[in-house]
Amino acid sequence: MKIIIDEHSGCCNGVARAIKRAEEALAQNNTLNCLGPIVHNEAEIERLGKMGLRTVSIDDFPNLKGEKVLIRAHGEPPHTYHKAGIYSIELIDCTCPVVLALQKKIKSAYEQISVMGGKVVIFGKKGHAEVNGLVGQTHSNAIVVDSLAQFKELLEKGTLTTDMPVELFSQTTKDPQEYEELGNYMTSIFPKGMVNIHNTICKQVTSRHHTLVDFAKKCDIIFFVCGKESSNGNVLYELCRSINPRSYRVEFARQIDRSLIKENDTVGICGAASTTRWQLESASEYILAEK
């Protein structure tokens, strides 16, 4: 048996930055509030929780007057900053620079296209933390679609029509291929110049898709480590499984079924943009431990 940990797996820069900022703040004070789960990764939340990180919601702001609250990499809509100001809350803003740039692009596009009767369409998961922050840049007037099929349904209902200008953006962690298919379909049915497609999927995510395909091909069996709420994890795991049917998703190392491993297997361990390096190493150690 041989174990390979995917060198390209592990936290993306935005998530790693937020975790580091949280650790630094906790080193100075024994507690810190985080607006929502700092990462869609239960194991990492548990680790930071033991250090004093508390997950709070915006409804808790009245009880947090004068305290510090960390904004995670996903970002937040404008009203969050406004409400924090009302209660004199000090924000540690860890919005990923890629997400922050996307928020600004959407805000600018909305201001221009709304006066023309157009729409901002966001390809993303409705209710996802990042998407909530993006939609907030349009005063909640953006249309969110999770698939090409969903987009077609909106056309059938008349929510969207091909005679209106559209600015198309994507959540940074969505599937690049699915986004390309949506964009191609829109340009095929809308009059020329009516659709402006923005390339807003994170380059790290796009690169991860390519490297994961190569990694999955060279392994006999794969254990994909990620939180069950990870949007990026859902996409990457399905990609991994499409290449290698012997792919299994786990949230904790202890969930790995070692009986699935054959004697001469090359075992691959990989994860999502929200999976920490220590979790990948922990999975390897668990596999090698005596049964």
Task: Kindly state the helix (H) or strand (E) to which residue 254 belongs, with its residue range.
Answer: none
| 48 and 131 inside one domain | no
Residues 182 and 242 in one domain: no
Instruction: Please check whether residues 84 and 113 belong to one and the same domain.
Output: no
- The confidence score (pLDDT) of residue 18 equals 97
Determine the structural domain holding residue 88 and report its residue range: 13-96
> Does one domain contain both 229 and 252?
yes
The residue annotated as part of the active site, out of 44, 67, 76, 130, is: 130
Is the per-residue pLDDT at 290 higher than 70?
no
Same domain membership, residue 45 and residue 79: yes
> What's the length of the chain?
291
How does pLDDT run across 202-246, given as a tens digit for each residue? 998 889 999 999 999 999 999 999 998 888 899 999 999 999 999
Of 46, 80, 96, which residue constitutes the final position of a domain? 96
Q: Is 130 tagged catalytic?
A: yes
**Residue 265 exposed, middle or buried by CB count within 10 Å (0-12, 13-18, 19+):** middle
Per-residue model confidence as pLDDT tens digits over 252-266: 999 999 999 999 999
Please tell me the predicted confidence (pLDDT) of residue 291: 53
Q: What is the mean pLDDT of the chain?
A: 95
Domain total of the chain: 3
Mean pLDDT of 75-82: 97
- Do 117 and 138 fall into the same domain? yes
High-pLDDT (> 90) share of the chain, %: 92
> Whole-structure pTM over 0.85, yes or no?
yes
Complete DSSP assignment for 189-222? HSPTTSEEE---S-HHHHHHHHHHHHHHHT-SEE
24 and 108 housed in the same domain: no
- Alpha-carbon distance of 4 to 281, in angstroms, equals 10
- Same domain, residue pair 32 and 102: no
208 and 190 in a common domain: no
Q: Which CATH number is 92's domain given?
A: 3.40.50.11270
CATH number at residue 272: 3.40.1010.20
On the CB side of 237, CA atoms within 13 Å amount to 21
* pLDDT of 146 strictly over 80: yes
Indicate the residue among 169, 197, 225 that finishes a domain. Answer: 197
